[in-house]
Amino acid sequence: MKAAIIGGGVIGGGWAARFLLNGWDVAVFDPDPQAARKIGEVLANARAALPQLSDTGLPAEGHLSFAGSVAEAVTGADYIQESVSEQLALKHRVFAEIQGAAPDVPLGSSTSGFKPSELQQGAVSPGVIFVAHPFNPVYLLPLVEIVPSVASTQGFTDGVLELLRDIGMFPLQVRKEIDAHIGDRLLEALWREALWLVKDGIATTEEIDDVIRMSFGLRWAQMGLFETYRIAGGEAGMKHFMEQFGPALAWPWTKLMDVPEFTDELVDLIAGQSDAQSGHHTIRDLERIRDGNLVAFLRALKDRDWGAGKVFNDHDRRLAAQGDITNTTETVLAATKLVVLPSWIDYNGHMTESRYLFAGSQIVDAFLARIGAGLDYVAAGHSYYTAETHIRHLGEAKLGAHLTGTVQVLSHDEKRLHIWMTLTRDTDGAEVATIEQMLLHVDMAAGRTCAAEARVLKTLDDIARTQAGLPRPAAAGRHVGQGRDDA
């Protein structure tokens, strides 16, 4: 698959990184002679951050190229994203060039303000032009506002939504076209109020940022606005909140209907305070701080399968479904892909002991799902419980390392499953660990072992037959402290 990115600034570079790290080839056109350097810096940030949010491993990175013209960039593209300056006349000229070479390819615009009907004016194929407004950094934040017009069919739009889900985004179709869509209208309201607070000497830029990041910003990141206010209404919920605080909307608190005069004095005041607040950091420093914090937030939300974290979990599941899923005719089951995350690293700079066990549990969960004993099986009242585990630590795994776990069935019967897992580094195939495990099949309600269902046992029988030619691992059954020569 190929994506064409027209405009290689911060947003265009973020789009390029998002597609590349999800396995797409990307062609970029930007007349700026510094475009390659700028995109390279964005891509370096993305390579350091996005893989930390994938528990299955991202696809092999696509190929990045820089085109000499718009036509060269879009030729053969499956998707086109325009991210040029926010000037309608310029966008129209660029769209004409794009559609001169690729008239039928989906063409999203990163515009933060224009409506799709405005973008489509004079276009050869207006129905394939739509708003695809992301948020910075595009390679980490999942939301993209999709705004079609009446010229686009719902079938076409559904295809775009699915395409963007495949690269890990959360495409939200806006119900009606409107200036600035949804997100920027909300941000503009807060921005106006903040400008007044600084202009009137009530707060500095740093104090306003502190108010946001130390309070409602944390709530918004995981519950949004209305769900947060629902909780504020107590047991009576949103209706009580509205009745209690609704009258305050008539009070003269806000200056949202007015804009402070944008004078040189106001610009200098805000710029000076911002320099005092953050000027000791370079922009690249701030980007890395931002990305690191976002990864930490998103990892926490992933663990809870909530909000933006659920989007990343859904993407993991999509990647797993699209990948090389091994079936029972293969000799060794590729159980899962793993990436070594910051929280897995100890003071020695490599993967800590507890995470080897965690990796084993991930491998086992994937294996059980593939033999028909996954979450649905557990919900019906049966599961495999771990009775004994022996881990051998054979090699180092450092931050960002991509690992693959494989499973060999050593023996099984109606109630017992004895498996051997091997964890290897993808870069060189070196063994990082082996994990030997005995599992017992349990009736969860009764709290005792019982025979597994016939379909599960049949799948295990099939796997055992296909693996019959594999040698038994020399270290299987060894005890702690046993010498390598005695294995």
pLDDT tens, residue by residue, 228-254: 888 888 888 888 788 887 777 777 666
Which of 159, 179, 199 terminates a domain? The answer is 179
Is 118 found in the same domain as 9? yes
Mean pLDDT of the chain: 91
Q: Mean pLDDT, to the nearest integer, of 333-357? A: 82
Is pLDDT of 74 > 80?
Answer: yes
pLDDT tens, residue by residue, 446-466: 999 999 999 999 999 999 999
Position 79 in a domain? yes
**Predicted local distance difference test score (pLDDT) of residue 319:** 82
Is pLDDT of 331 > 70?
Answer: no
Is 370 found in the same domain as 412? yes
Tokens of 233: 């209404």
Q: Please list the residues that pair with 65 across neighbouring strands.
A: 27
Is 151 found in the same domain as 41? yes
Query: Which residue has better confidence, 31 or 486?
Result: 31
Specify binding-site residues: 7-12
Q: Mean pLDDT, to the nearest integer, of 219-231? A: 90
Specify binding-site residues for NAD(+): 7-12
CA distance linking residue 147 with residue 27, whole number of Å: 24
Which pLDDT band holds residue 329 (cuts at 50, 70, 90)?
Answer: very low
**Predicted local distance difference test score (pLDDT) of residue 144:** 98
Is 110 found in the same domain as 42? yes
Which of 221, 256, 280 terminates a domain? The answer is 280
Query: Which residue has better confidence, 482 or 475?
Result: 475
Which pLDDT band holds residue 444 (cuts at 50, 70, 90)?
Answer: very high
Q: Mean pLDDT, to the nearest integer, of 84-92? A: 97
Is 374 found in the same domain as 354? yes
> By mean pLDDT, which of 15-24, 29-38, 253-262, 416-425 is the weakest?
253-262
- Planar angle of CA 281, 275, 208, nearest 5 degrees: 100
Residue 28's closest CA among 57, 62, 4? Answer: 4
Is 168 found in the same domain as 31? yes
Is 139 found in the same domain as 191? no
Q: 0.85 exceeded by the pTM?
A: no
**Predicted local distance difference test score (pLDDT) of residue 258:** 77
The full 3-state SS of the chain, as one line of letters, equals: CEEEEECCCHHHHHHHHHHHCCCCEEEEECCCCCHHHHHHHHHHHHHHHHHHHCCCCCCCCCCEEECCCHHHHHCCCCEEEECCCCCHHHHHHHHHHHHHHCCCCCEEECCCCCCHHHHCCCCCCHHHEEEEEECCCCCCCCEEEEECCCCCCHHHHHHHHHHHHHCCCEEEECCCCCCCCCHHHHHHHHHHHHHHHHHCCCCCHHHHHHHHHCCHHHHHHHHCCHHHHHHHCHHHHHHHHHHHHHHHHHCCCCCCCCCCCCCHHHHHHHHHHHHHHHCCCCHHHHHHHHHHHHHHHHHHHHHCCCCHHHHHHHHHHHHHHHCCCCCCCCCCEEEEEEECCHHHECCCCEECHHHHHHHHHHHHHHHHHHCCCCHHHHHCCEEEEEEEEEEEECCCCECCCEEEEEEEEEEECCCEEEEEEEEEECCCCCEEEEEEEEEEEEECCCCEECCCCHHHHHHHHHHHHHCCCCCCCCCCCCCCCCCHHHC
The number of folded domains in the chain is: 3
Which of 280, 315, 335 terminates a domain? The answer is 280
**Predicted local distance difference test score (pLDDT) of residue 326:** 39
Is 41 found in the same domain as 149? yes
Is 172 found in the same domain as 187? no
> By mean pLDDT, which of 93-97, 224-228, 316-320 is the weakest?
316-320
Query: Which residue has better confidence, 240 or 207?
Result: 207
Which pLDDT band holds residue 339 (cuts at 50, 70, 90)?
Answer: confident
Q: Mean pLDDT, to the nearest integer, of 255-284? A: 87
Which pLDDT band holds residue 330 (cuts at 50, 70, 90)?
Answer: very low
pLDDT tens, residue by residue, 291-315: 989 998 998 999 889 999 999 999 9
Is pLDDT of 80 > 90?
Answer: yes
Is 335 found in the same domain as 274? no
Answer whether 193's CB lies under 8 Å from 157's CB. no
Position 125 in a domain? yes
Is pLDDT of 408 > 70?
Answer: yes
> How many residues comprise the chain?
487
Q: Mean pLDDT, to the nearest integer, of 359-373? A: 90
Position 11 in a domain? yes
In this structure, what CATH number is given to the domain that contains residue 217?
A: 1.10.1040.10
Domain residues for 456?
327-467
**Predicted local distance difference test score (pLDDT) of residue 332:** 58
Tell how far CA 251 is from the center of its chain: 41
Is 109 found in the same domain as 10? yes
Is pLDDT of 224 > 90?
Answer: yes
CA distance linking residue 370 with residue 257, whole number of Å: 58
CA distance linking residue 54 with residue 349, whole number of Å: 20
